[in-house]
Structure 1
Amino acid sequence: MKGLIIGLANDQSLAWGCARALKAAGADLAITYQNDKAQSHVAPLAEEAGASIVLPLDVRDAGQAAMLFETIEQRWGRLDFLLHSIAFAPKADLHGRVTDSSGEGFATAMDISCHSLIRLAKRAEPLMTAGGSILTMSFYGAEKVVPGYGIMGPVKAALEASVRYLASELGPRGIRVNALSTGPVKTRAASGLTHFDTLMGKAAERAPLHQLVTIEQIGEAAAFLLSDKARYISGQTIYVDAGYNTLG
């Protein structure tokens, strides 16, 4: 398998757990980093994962996206999977009430966290000549109110809806699209949420398995969904959260 991983920031990223699991499954990886500052953190991890393509990608930069997919086409001639693991909201909007969120902040969060998946899927489609798989990362706050999750709740809800529509539209080409809804994990992105440590404690206490999930466990689930073993699974939000979502 030849696949693209977007959203690797450091060794605590969900994308890193996925990269390690995919490498163990024998995948040849392309890995992106957001900017020059992130490169120093990502480059050693990309080397450890044996990535044959390592390029910058700010998902708001159409030129960088074009160069990335042109490189993949030239080097590989195809793409088997795409992992989308990015989310962002301006701090002022993230920490405030949804009611008080600014139009600009909401639009930024939606563009980077949700519409970027749609744009990347469009670029990946012509390279998935023999079918393929697209996977994104979500969270329980898309379905139920999670205190402190703020505008990312509506944004992730839109992301999960986008997964279903993309799965419907790309299915005739043999391209599957799914979302992994993970339990709380202490990533750099999650550290920006208010009361996140409290959320993690409650999740570990209340989840039926009475534990938190790790990036390694999330990676194992991602590797399965991106493989041919999951070839009949599409348009789904799959929970990897020790059963926390079942509690309502």
Structure 2
Amino acid sequence: MTTERTYPLLEGAKVLVCGIANDQSIAYGCAKAFRELGAELAITYANPKSKAYVEPLADALGASLLLPLDVTRSDELDAVFEQINRTWGRLDVLLHSIAWAPKSDLQGGLLESSAEGFAKAMDVSCHSFVRMARRAAPLMVDGGTMFTMSFHGANKVVEHYNLMGPVKAALEASARYLAHELGPQGIRVHAISPGPLKTRAASGLTDFDELLESASHRAPLRELVDIFDVGYTCAFLATQYARRLSGETLYVDSGVHIMG
């Protein structure tokens, strides 16, 4: 006879969400989903200009903390995790949805990318996740889950994705290695690979509207995903129902990635 077990979803879970720019951001969709499942939120904003857009969203979500975070600054990274430790004493979920490259490097082909631009894109879009994980892990006293956002261009050539393809490939590999290193502490790590979404970050890609239209026609479900589809996937993966999943790159793209 099996004993039926029920699990709370995310009631009382402490979640740090990094990368909200506006209400179209993937990170916002994730924050909203975490909150719907009962989590408490800490939300960051990139700079004073972005605070004007992020603060109303944080207020609407009832976020416990709203903190500045430029991921290139060690002092701001330290301050975020120190404040979380003072306020909560622990962290259960980290969501990293941050990517950036100089526009001139992003819009040219990989061959034309500068060493400086490539390095900056790698630092902000990939290694910042490693830096966050290093600081978050000691706060995940009962285990936890870490997420970062990738894209199919990490594994297959997507026209106009350019230098971000290799950068996201490095990010996915980093997630796997972090899953290996942090697994003994009960910490699970995932890269999430959404289909094309209309976000401010994506608007910097050349011919992005064509990519959206192509994806909607090629997807087996014949429709694009939205930020809340991504959010609910992350929320599920943060629950005990996904307790044996780690190191995955999970596609949330209506099946586009299976098509030739």
TM-score (ref. length: structure 1) = 0.99
How far the C-alpha of 1:230 sits from its partner, in A, is 1.2
Is 2:27 aligned against 1:11? no
How far the C-alpha of 1:222 sits from its partner, in A, is 1.1
Percent identity of paired positions between Structure 1 and Structure 2 = 59
User: Contact (CA 8 Å) 1:181, 1:241: kept in 2 or not?
Assistant: yes
Q: For residues 1-248 of structure 1, what are the structure 2 equivalents within 5 Å?
A: 1-248=13-260
How far the C-alpha of 1:23 sits from its partner, in A, is 0.4
How many residue pairs are counted as aligned between the two chains? Answer: 248
Measured in 1, the distance between the counterparts of 2:84 and 2:253 equals 33
Higher radius of gyration, 1 or 2:
2
Equivalent AA in structure 1 for residue 93 of structure 2: F
How far the C-alpha of 1:226 sits from its partner, in A, is 1.8
Give runs of ≥4 in structure 1 deviating > 4 Å: none
How far the C-alpha of 1:225 sits from its partner, in A, is 1.3
Structure 1 unpaired stretches of 5+: none
The SS at the match of 1:187 is coil
User: Contact (CA 8 Å) 1:9, 1:42: kept in 2 or not?
Assistant: yes
Measured in 1, the distance between the counterparts of 2:240 and 2:39 equals 12
How far the C-alpha of 1:137 sits from its partner, in A, is 0.6
More off after superposition, 130-139 vs 218-227: 218-227
What whole-Å deviation, never above 9, does each CA across 1:93-125 have from its counterpart, x for those lacking one?
A: 000010111000000000000000000000001
User: Contact (CA 8 Å) 1:135, 1:226: kept in 2 or not?
Assistant: no
The SS at the match of 1:78 is coil
The SS at the match of 1:20 is helix
User: Contact (CA 8 Å) 1:131, 1:175: kept in 2 or not?
Assistant: yes
Structure 2 unpaired stretches of 5+: 1-12
Measured in 2, the distance between the counterparts of 1:181 and 1:164 equals 14
More off after superposition, 84-93 vs 224-233: 224-233
Measured in 2, the distance between the counterparts of 1:229 and 1:91 equals 41
Measured in 2, the distance between the counterparts of 1:121 and 1:44 equals 27
Measured in 2, the distance between the counterparts of 1:66 and 1:155 equals 24
Measured in 2, the distance between the counterparts of 1:225 and 1:99 equals 37
**RMSD across aligned positions (CA):** 0.6
